[in-house]
Amino acid sequence: MTMNATTGEDGTFHPDVKATIQRLKSYTSVPVVAGFGIRTPEHVRDIGSVADGVVIGSEIVRRFASQDRATISAYLTSIRDALDS
């Protein structure tokens, strides 16, 4: 099942996203990951409360194109910390 969704202007996910992830998890033992609009550690913690994992694509590509190594490293560390919390 695929669901197209992005975060809203206020940085929150559409209310159906978490419900859809929970419904998917009730049908399978396969890990369910989310990968839409996830850019911040807060997004990771929020959607990670129901998903088994997250995918961050465009934000990482954008940062690699515009930021220095130390800034990217700090960002990735903040994402790792959010995953671990």
Residue ranges of domains in the chain = 45-85
Mean pLDDT to the nearest integer, 53-82: 96
Q: Are strands 33-34 and 53-54 parallel, antiparallel or unpaired?
A: parallel
Helix (H) or strand (E) holding 77: helix 69-84
Q: How buried is residue 82: exposed, middle or buried, by Cβ count under 10 Å (0-12/13-18/19+)?
A: middle
pTM (two decimals): 0.79
| Model confidence pLDDT, tens digit, residues 36-65 | 889 999 999 999 999 999 999 999 999 999
